[in-house]
Structure 1
Amino acid sequence: MFVVLLTYTAPPPEIDYAIPDHAEWLAKQYDRGNFLASGRRADHRGEVLLARPMSLGKLEAVLAGDPLLLRHLAHHEVIEFSATRTGPELRSLNEALTR
């Protein structure tokens, strides 16, 4: 499983202009089952994405299509972790239980 920290690197007006395309990209990733949750960071400096378990290469390919990244308006930091405890809603993704 992955936590992706997206940090904006451009002024807010440039980010705001690109957000509709980014939101459309996010919707496609949810439809494809790649993301579990996402939202804007409380400090408004970026976003947080929770990606389901997949190969790091696949995740990097998914992230490479983000319009914010393509337009050089943000960068991603990927944090990989193995879920060993989860709430009932994520039990099927608990890597410790699926081995």
Structure 2
Amino acid sequence: MFVVLLTYTAPLEEVDYALPDYAKWLEKHFAAGEFLAAGRRDSREGCVILTRSMSRAKLEAILCVNPFVLGHLATFEIIEFAATRTAPELHRLNEAMAQLA
């Protein structure tokens, strides 16, 4: 699994202008089952995306066509982790836990 931290590098007015395209991009990846959760950081300095397990190369390819990244409005950081413990309602989303069951 991955946590992606997007950090805005442009004024919020420019980020807000790109939000409709970003929302469409997010929807595409939720529909494909690649993203599990996404939302603004409380400080409004960027966004957070939680993804399913996939290759890092695939995730980087997905992120490179993010409208915020394409428009030079944000940068991203990828944090990879293996969830070894989850709440019961997340067990079926966690491939590692599913293998233990």
TM-score (norm 2): 0.93
Secondary structure in structure 2 of the residue aligned to 1:98: helix
Aligned residues: 99
> Equivalents in 2 of 1:55, 1:4: separation in Å?
14
Instruction: Determine if contact 1:84/1:97 at 8 Å carries over to the other structure.
Output: no
Instruction: Determine if contact 1:85/1:94 at 8 Å carries over to the other structure.
Output: no
Q: CA RMSD of the aligned region, Å? A: 1.2
Aligned to 1:47: 47
Structure 1 residues 94 and 83 mapped into 2: Cα distance closer, same or farther (>3 Å)? farther
- The one-letter code matched in structure 2 to 1:88 is P
Aligned to 2:99: 98
- Alignment map for 1:1-99 (pairs within 5 Å): 1-92=1-92, 93-98=94-99
Larger helix percent: 2
TM-score (norm 1): 0.94
Q: Which runs of 5+ in 1 are unaligned?
A: none
Instruction: Determine if contact 1:84/1:94 at 8 Å carries over to the other structure.
Output: no
Identity, in percent, stands at 56
